[in-house]
Structure 1
Amino acid sequence: MKEGQRPLILVSNDDSINSKGIAHLVSLMKELGEVVVVAPNSPQSGMGHAITITDPLRYFEVDLFEGVKAYECSGTPADCVKIAKTHLLDRAPDLVVSGINHGSNTSVSVLYSGTMSAALEATIEDLPAVGFSLCDYDMDADFSHTSEHILQITRQVLERGLPKGISLNVNFPMRMEGEPIKGRKLCRQAKGKWKEALEERMDPLNRKYLWLTGHYVNQDQGEDTDEWAIANNYVSVVPVKVDMTCHETLSYLTEEWN
């Protein structure tokens, strides 16, 4: 970044460029730097780190955010970050932020999250990145209680950076009237899983189809986890990385298998 130049902040998400969450995030990022938005043109929840390789990728400039250049993209959240960095931006962003997601991305949900995949795609490119999620699935959710914390976290990342290969997964509890957020907790990812079922249903033409349902099962009673933080009205902040190698198992397997 040149002297006197405002930080360049790339904003993406997985709920689509038309979501309330991204509009709130863009309004906050405008306070901190020059903002460019590249986001999916339709909801991409649960897409994980999918990329588009068998269909053409299309993007169009749209006028949705006052004073902000914005593009809607036919691809996934990871596609959006790739297109922004390699094709649309004339310099590398100083920060990539994704969200604010309508719904939780705590625990194992980080693996399925399109929101966090946009952040992790930036991490692959050695760009500091943060994914923000609100534990409220309502498309008209109230994001007002997130503003102060988002600004503080992004300011710190802009000023101090992040270790290479690391992004932040930030989750907010639902807004509860008369109960302000207690603060932020640096956490680990809780151990848990989704207990799922496939419901067999019939379409209007009397053809069978399957609909995935389920609920989250928390298998972790630790008080240092993201699930505990959210349940106790804290903002959870979890550092995450792309490298999924279980390093502590390498020596064990070497000894056992050789």
Structure 2
Amino acid sequence: MKILLTNDDGIHAPGLAVLEKLARTLSDDVTVCAPAEEQSGAGHSLTLHAPVRLREHGGRRFSVTGTPTDSVNLALRKLFPEGMPDLVISGVNAGENLGDDITYSGTASAAMEAALAGVPAIALSQAFRDNGPSFSATEGWGAKVLAALVKLTMAKRTLVNVNFPALPADKVRGIRVVRQGFHDYSRGSLVEATDPRGRPYFWFGLQDAEHTLDHGTDLEAVEDGYIAVTPLQLDLTHYAAIDTLAAQFAEGDGS
């Protein structure tokens, strides 16, 4: 099995080192292609107005001067001339990607880019809390989660988003397959300050954003000490609204 690894925290991120160890429990054919610098919050952005450079670090490890999407896009086109990889795994992100955070996540977006190219894709994220960063849950449970997911036949344009709780591995309560939850971003923080030249600046934060802990969501699962496994689809069409919209426009066109 040919596996491509990427992330949004950068080529030197500790979470990527954790992911490399996990991937090698599945295959010896592992390629890494990740951003040269941290790209957290980059979402599904693609660099269009500047050149992107690829640097080799040895041992099938590469960095890209661009976004997570650039990294996957370039890797698939340049590093796999004889055919696509069998799997793309993105992560392990330093911090959870739960609920609608997925829309901002470079980790999830890298997996989305692979899914758009027809390659099975998984995004892995590790929640942190005030006691500091620890990948214990991922290190203890990641191989088990991945071993189950690689047996899955994924539908086209889908991916799997996995979040590990901020707990030691022996405190994790198990695995839940759940739906995407939602946050209340109206309460997200905004810090306003002045730089040394007297000019105002703003810094966005999510510290005050509230979780909507509906039953059966990824937010609830991680809060309860479980690993959250969520299948995602890239078709954003709201099918329930199609007939209503069509009827609305038909009223005025004389048909």
Asked whether the equivalents of residues 44 and 106 of structure 2 are also in contact (C-alpha less than 8 Å), the reply is yes
- Aligned counterpart, 1:99: 91
Q: Distance in 2 between matches of 1:160 and 1:242?
A: 18
When normalised by structure 2's length, the TM-score is 0.90
Shift of 1:238: 0.8
- Aligned counterpart, 1:71: 62
Asked whether the equivalents of residues 173 and 225 of structure 2 are also in contact (C-alpha less than 8 Å), the reply is yes
- Aligned counterpart, 2:253: none
Bigger drift between 98-107 and 203-212 goes to 203-212
Asked whether the equivalents of residues 96 and 127 of structure 2 are also in contact (C-alpha less than 8 Å), the reply is yes
| Cα deviation digits, residues 121-149 of structure 1 (max 9, x gap) | 000011100000011178x7221321343
- Among 158, 166, 177, the residue aligned to 1:166: 158
Shift of 1:155: 2.3
- Aligned counterpart, 1:37: 32
One-letter identity of the residue aligned with 1:216: A
Bigger drift between 165-174 and 207-216 goes to 207-216
When normalised by structure 1's length, the TM-score is 0.89
Is residue 184 from structure 1 mapped to residue 175 from structure 2 by the alignment?
yes
Q: Distance in 2 between matches of 1:172 and 1:245?
A: 29
Q: Secondary structure at the match of 2:151?
A: helix
Q: Distance in 1 between matches of 2:174 and 2:79?
A: 37
- Among 217, 223, 232, the residue aligned to 2:215: 223
Is residue 53 from structure 1 mapped to residue 53 from structure 2 by the alignment?
no
Asked whether the equivalents of residues 94 and 133 of structure 2 are also in contact (C-alpha less than 8 Å), the reply is yes
Q: Secondary structure at the match of 2:240?
A: helix
How big is the alpha-carbon RMSD for the aligned residues of Structure 1 and Structure 2? Answer: 1.9
Is residue 16 from structure 1 mapped to residue 10 from structure 2 by the alignment?
yes
Asked whether the equivalents of residues 129 and 166 of structure 2 are also in contact (C-alpha less than 8 Å), the reply is no
| Cα deviation digits, residues 39-60 of structure 1 (max 9, x gap) | 0011100010000000100010
- Among 230, 242, 247, the residue aligned to 1:238: 230
Question: CA distance change for structure 1 residues 197 and 233 in 2, over 3 Å: closer, same or farther?
Answer: closer
Unmatched runs of 5 consecutive residues or more in structure 1:
1-6
Give the paired residue count: 246
Asked whether the equivalents of residues 226 and 237 of structure 1 are also in contact (C-alpha less than 8 Å), the reply is yes
Percent of residue pairs bearing the same amino acid type: 33
Asked whether the equivalents of residues 94 and 158 of structure 1 are also in contact (C-alpha less than 8 Å), the reply is no
Is residue 86 from structure 1 mapped to residue 77 from structure 2 by the alignment?
yes
Q: Secondary structure at the match of 2:221?
A: helix
Is residue 198 from structure 1 mapped to residue 190 from structure 2 by the alignment?
yes
Is residue 26 from structure 1 mapped to residue 20 from structure 2 by the alignment?
yes
